Amino acid sequence: MNTKKILGIGIFSLALAASMVSCKSKEKVSTNSEVGTILEDMPCEDKGRSDKNYYRASAMATSSDLSLAKEKALLNAKQRLVTLINSNTKSVTDRYVNEREFGDASEFEQKFENLTREVADETISNIVVACEKASVLDNGKYRGFVAIEVSKEDIMNGINNKLSQNQKLQVDYDKKKFEEIFNQEMQKLAEEQGY
């Protein structure tokens, strides 16, 4: 591919991005036969951003049935939330293991990660729906929007409860140090989300 074609594609991409940014409609930014309608502001998206006290996720789904659109959006949000919690607690666990000395650090880390995955899966039953909206599209299909949240305290309590059932992990667990690292990672997550 020659440089003129690459430059042309780059300029077209910039022009397209600029036209999307310059239009400030709440529902539609532009309609393009190749792309379709682009939503600039998704309902519930702002309420789906994590902060230092809550893990949050938002999602959208479309269906010809309103309740199914809402259920699919909720399922997608739950999957995102579990992924976020697992990713964040893995970062916490990695830092915790690196800052402490263990006889078998890899075994501790693996068992602890499994424990936090279990906690994340179980915590989904404690979610709170922070926002739920729906819309009807021109073709008669429904679009469901949802944002959910779970408090970091629920996660910490779950980890502490699981640890109390595992004597081997409990020996190497420094609750104060773990919570300190956990809070730092939550602050970092909040900053990444714009808080």
pLDDT, one tens digit per residue, over 123-171 is: 888 899 999 999 999 899 999 999 999 999 999 999 888 888 888 788 7
Give the max Cα distance, the chain: 66
Model pLDDT, residue 145: 96
Least confident stretch, 46-60, 96-110, 135-149, 177-191: 96-110
pTM above 0.85, yes or no: no
Residue carrying structure tokens 């039953």 = 125
Euclidean distance between CA atoms 73 and 69, whole angstroms: 6
At residue 122, does pLDDT exceed 70?
A: yes
Residue 52 has pLDDT above 80, yes or no: yes
- Provide the pLDDT for residue 23: 36
| Least-confidence region, from 4-8, 80-84, 155-159 | 4-8
Element (H, E) at 169: helix 167-171
Residue 156 to residue 167: CA distance in whole angstroms: 18
